[in-house]
Structure 1
């Protein structure tokens, strides 16, 4: 086989092999993103602890996670975590990837949540408190419905970024499209066509998604530009009626 020139025969031979890993790649992306969406709330909650030392430790941990390469975190969870005395828990490559990438991106998503929550007018908090809402009802009825919609475009951007980072999971044995391309290249001593297929698949999936996110962001911006001034949104009473 000629390893120096492009071969369409090799391309069409490798394509059905590489694309078999698309389900794993896509599934891992959504699993990591779902985990990061849920765990992002954890960072928001623990940062509300009214003890300066604990809050400072949480902020430091988040900064440490953000400042450490996700590849190092994947290696630690998959290779080093089982060797910690008293734990000795061996995780599958897929689970390790979900934990590693999910926790890493959850620190960024937690900041997105926090910015959305802080954008809610203080009058909304005071009104909910004056109406004697419980903590749960205050968050579900007043704060989150106003805080989360503006964050949707940013969350969409992080989904696309995460999708591009998913190939890192191949380093710990997750058999996605990149790992299958590497396997094909090793077997046939030709990586050009197989890796080109990987690049095309990422482009075909991520570029339309980026356009959709940009369109959604513009739509959200127009929506909030037309909103009434901050603090004028009606507050539901304890029975759900609008005041």
Structure 2
């Protein structure tokens, strides 16, 4: 029996409308913790979406009062009974979760987190990994591993690439919760909206992006993350090549012509 079939109810729901795929974490009784099944199903779904030309943007939300409480500590603790006290399992778990996070970054379509309630540890990592994030004003963010003797090292990777070093270190070292307003000020989320409206706002955000050329969006998203890992001169050389190649695309030609002719563009996504 695999991790997904081990649960009676799939821990993730998907619905599609207007070019937007909405994925909803659906283990509210476990505060949507990232158990083995959730990680596997989320990664599998992202892989399917990557090849789905009908999907132009993705929204990631959650059922219940918590967005995601991080890894499933009960599931992890049960592996202490393994002959190696769980070390092989823990290493494999972190590799699988890291691969799923990287699948979000590699996805051609933008991913927008819609956060209500708490997003802690790997849940906070999930928000930081998404390309954009909308938070209800009741949302709280934390990397509280230090309180239980477990530094949030993998969430640190996403946080340190989204926040200033001082802000990331403050969250990681103190483990204290950060309000939605403070998360916005720090750059962890793009917008703060009235509680209960994060999903609606994120979907409207997504529909706006879905109206753009998918080729252009995929090109830009890929280039954004690639250049961010480069030195300044290398980044400019790379971005110049990407932009010149983008200019040769049919959608760039159409978009420029439409602007000059003062008409809406007709995207062909090529």
Same fold (TM over 0.5): no
For the pair shown, the structure with the greater C-alpha radius of gyration is 1
TM value normalised by structure 2: 0.27
Comparing both chains, which one has the higher relative contact order based on Cα–Cα distances under 8 Å and sequence gaps of 6 or more?
A: 1
Structure having the larger proportion of residues in strand = 2
